[in-house]
A and B are shown apart, each in its own frame.
Chain A
Amino acid sequence: MRDPVGSFLVSTRNAPTAFRPRGDVVCLVRELTKVYPAVRGRRGAPDSPAVRATDGVGLEIRRGEIFGLLGPNGAGKSTLVRQLTGLMRPDSGSVEILGHDVVRHPERAARILAYLGQESSALDELTVSLAAETTGRLRGLEARHARAERDAVLEELGLTAIAGRPIKKLSGGQRRLACFAAALVGERPLLVLDEPTTGMDPIARRAVWSAVDRRRAEQGTTVLLVTHNVIEAETVLDRVAVLDRGRVIACDTPAGLKERVAGEVRVELVWRDRPPLDVPEVAVLRSRAVESGRRWTLRLGPEEARAAVGAVTGGDAFAALDDFTLATPTLEDVYLALGGDAQGLVKA
């Protein structure tokens, strides 16, 4: 029944595009490709080759789900999102959001979705309250309606107390929350959120996810979430597309993805000083470990894990061991198993 990692690698390239729609499809992406042209180096600067920022990406996002794009920095998440929001023209491929062709009519995207980008410089010097109200007005709301929605959203997110303060003067997390508030004023069936919770404390995060959940329950709002945080991805996402170098290397529910490495256990070893390579069992483990400083991360079968733990918790090896953990696999392990370069993923 269970299959080694290899078999689904065969199919995932095509899986998202060929998925048969179940329920309403809000966003349908096919064979989306964007290549940044090569740049010739000037005066000593090296040439940079052409980069396929999105490489034949296919996705299908259904109504009411929180769909995630997971990958480390530079995987092409933001480039992909910019193409879905009409901010960037793809070289080829199609994007259809609620029946509208966004590649041909990029201006329509603004009337279907709300976008929270990573940059807040357009709002930075406004007060929280004015940022939310102005955004609502620019989303086509009447003045009275915009003010009412502003008040409701600020209240919902717990921002009323700081409504009169300029966004620039807030802490990173509060600033992010204020921009999220602006994104919510003027209801949209699709929210595109690019790393919305960066820098937020747990209370602010909870405010974000409960605001999202409320809109899902009441209005069937769909969310496209960009994240490099694996823990967040596991807890909030319904489905996730894993990106690596511009390609979707897997697309499934977080549980479904983890199922693929369910036969494995993650073993982390932290050595006090340097690993005792004179212990033969440790020397063998080294070839399978991902080393980062004094920390070794291994993905092993349950039997092997037990043997490894036995080996390092006895004798000389134990004296050199600072800490060890055994854990069930996370999306990060999935990412590694899929051949992605997981450096740059965040666990927090």
Chain B
Amino acid sequence: MSVVPAEVLPGSALPVDEAPTAAELGPRARLLPALCAVYRAQLSRARVARIPLLFVATFQSIGIMVLMRGVVDGGGEARAVVAGSAVLVVAFVALNLLAQYFGQLRADGGLDHYATLPVPPASVVLGAAAAYASFTVPGTVVTAVVGCVLFQLPLAHLWVLAAVIPVAGAALAGLGAALGLLAPRPELATLLGQLGMSAALLLGVLPPDRLPEVVRFARDLLPSTYGVEAFALTFDEHPDWAVVLADLGVCAAVGVASLAVATWAYRRAAVR
């Protein structure tokens, strides 16, 4: 037994008097710089992986508008179609693709990378959401312009997209991130993302007057609806800016709430 030192035998005393003073911790990444770093990294992914999908998102919306041209007869319905199609690009990218991204990241252990860095959860979620919302800018603008030309709508107030994209982007990206992070399996995240997008398509693009009561109620629950309505209102020659602001306000509030839920979901997914 000589290879076994006495102190390792069962029953020997444990070193109880060791109370080492804790070492100094490394710095914590601050919210804004970390958010910017995540945003920049996520944005750069677009070059590698996202561009084909952005084309798909845009063509899908333009295709829908072309189809709807034979159905709607100008006026309020045309405005709803153009506004809905433009916001649909946001739903496709921010909701659907972000849900898939986070679902995948969570399933294959990619979240471990962020979870072992001293970065605030909000930075990761907001950075990714902001990047995905940014991906939608070209597609949304192109869709809106093409739509205005197709349905002979005024281009004068298209600048309102500068407000619509961020608030609708926040609401839908938050929802997408939360779905992706909460779904127990990546396929489910994909499914939920697709369903969310389909909802945005049906409830956003189809003119509300033609929808049954129940569906109209569902439409009111979907955050993107308020972005669509705000945008549609601005095709008026003299838009009611108070209503536009109120709609955007609802969208922004939902955005804050859904991003908060997504941040909570990230925290929950990071430590299992």
Mark A11-46 against chain B: 1 for CB-CB distance below 8 A, else 0: 100110111110011000000000000000000000
Q: CA–CA, A115 to B270, complex, Å?
A: 14
- Is the CB of A3 closer than 8 A to any CB of chain B? yes
Whether A87 touches B272, Cβ cut-off 8 Å, given contacts A99-B23, A134-B37, is yes
Q: Which of B58-114 contact A (CB under 8 A)?
A: 104-105, 108-114
* Chain B contacts for A208, CB-based, 8 A: none
Contact A21 B109 (CB under 8 A): no
Q: How many residues of B contact A (CB 8 A)?
A: 50
Contact B26 A140 (CB under 8 A): yes
Q: CA–CA, A185 to B27, complex, Å?
A: 13
Contact A121 B271 (CB under 8 A): no
* Chain B contacts for A259, CB-based, 8 A: 3
- Is the CB of B38 closer than 8 A to any CB of chain A? yes
* Chain A contacts for B21, CB-based, 8 A: 99
* Residue among A21, A107, A113, A133 with max Cβ neighbours from chain B (10 Å): A107
* Chain B contacts for A134, CB-based, 8 A: 37-38, 40-41
* Chain B contacts for A168, CB-based, 8 A: 48
Mark A140-163 against chain B: 1 for CB-CB distance below 8 A, else 0: 111100000000000000000000
Known: A98-B22, A100-B25, A135-B117. 7 other contacts (CB 8 A): A86-B115, A88-B271, A107-B118, A110-B116, A117-B116, A138-B114, A189-B23
Q: Which of B3-57 contact A (CB under 8 A)?
A: 3-4, 7-10, 12, 14-15, 18, 20-23, 25-30, 33-34, 37-38, 40-41, 44-45, 48-49
Whether A188 touches B26, Cβ cut-off 8 Å, given contacts A166-B48, A168-B48, is yes
* Chain B contacts for A107, CB-based, 8 A: 118
Mark A228-264 against chain B: 1 for CB-CB distance below 8 A, else 0: 0000000000000000000000000000000110000
Q: How far is the CB of A131 from chain B (nearest CB, A)?
A: 8
Q: Which of A122-130, A270-278, A310-318 contacts B (4 or more CB under 8 A)?
A: A122-130
Q: Which of B134-160 contact A (CB under 8 A)?
A: none
- Is the CB of B214 closer than 8 A to any CB of chain A? no
Select which of A2, A99, A111 is within 8 A of B20 by beta carbon.
A99
Whether A119 touches B4, Cβ cut-off 8 Å, given contacts A85-B116, A110-B117, is no
- Is the CB of A139 closer than 8 A to any CB of chain B? yes
Contact A7 B3 (CB under 8 A): yes
Q: CA–CA, A127 to B197, complex, Å?
A: 30
Q: Please count the residue pairs between chain A and chain B whose beta carbons lie under 8 angstroms apart in the complex.
A: 159
Q: CA–CA, A41 to B104, complex, Å?
A: 24
* Chain A contacts for B40, CB-based, 8 A: 130, 134
* Chain A contacts for B8, CB-based, 8 A: 11, 14-15, 18-19
* Chain A contacts for B49, CB-based, 8 A: 125
Q: How far is the CB of B234 from chain A (nearest CB, A)?
A: 36
Select which of B12, B28, B108 is within 8 A of A140 by beta carbon.
B28
Q: How many residues of A contact B (CB 8 A)?
A: 64
Q: List, sorted by A's number, 27 A–B pairs whose CB atoms are closer than 8 Å.
A: A8-B3, A11-B4, A19-B7, A20-B7, A25-B18, A87-B112, A107-B118, A108-B25, A110-B116, A117-B116, A118-B109, A119-B108, A119-B112, A119-B113, A121-B108, A123-B113, A125-B44, A126-B45, A130-B44, A135-B113, A137-B29, A137-B33, A138-B114, A139-B118, A140-B27, A140-B30, A141-B27
- Is the CB of B242 closer than 8 A to any CB of chain A? no
Contact A87 B115 (CB under 8 A): yes
Q: CA–CA, A117 to B115, complex, Å?
A: 11
Select which of A25, A121, A130 is within 8 A of B109 by beta carbon.
A121
Contact B41 A7 (CB under 8 A): no
* Chain B contacts for A24, CB-based, 8 A: 20
* Chain A contacts for B110, CB-based, 8 A: 119-122
Q: How far is the CB of B138 from chain A (nearest CB, A)?
A: 19
- Is the CB of B1 closer than 8 A to any CB of chain A? yes
Q: How far is the CB of A198 from chain B (nearest CB, A)?
A: 15
Q: How far is the CB of B148 from chain A (nearest CB, A)?
A: 34
Q: How far is the CB of A11 from chain B (nearest CB, A)?
A: 5
Contact B113 A122 (CB under 8 A): yes
Q: How far is the CB of A334 from chain B (nearest CB, A)?
A: 13
Whether A89 touches B45, Cβ cut-off 8 Å, given contacts A99-B22, A112-B25, is no
Contact B109 A186 (CB under 8 A): no
Select which of A11, A125, A186 is within 8 A of B9 by beta carbon.
A11
Q: CA–CA, A140 to B120, complex, Å?
A: 11
- Is the CB of A203 closer than 8 A to any CB of chain B? no
Contact B41 A130 (CB under 8 A): yes
Q: How far is the CB of A140 from chain B (nearest CB, A)?
A: 3
Contact A138 B117 (CB under 8 A): yes
- Is the CB of A50 closer than 8 A to any CB of chain B? no
Contact B14 A17 (CB under 8 A): yes
Contact B41 A21 (CB under 8 A): no
Select which of B3, B12, B26, B116 is within 8 A of A87 by beta carbon.
B116
Contact B48 A111 (CB under 8 A): no
* Chain A contacts for B23, CB-based, 8 A: 98-100, 112, 189
- Is the CB of A1 closer than 8 A to any CB of chain B? yes
Select which of A8, A87, A125 is within 8 A of B4 by beta carbon.
A8
Select which of B9, B30, B33, B111 is within 8 A of A122 by beta carbon.
B111
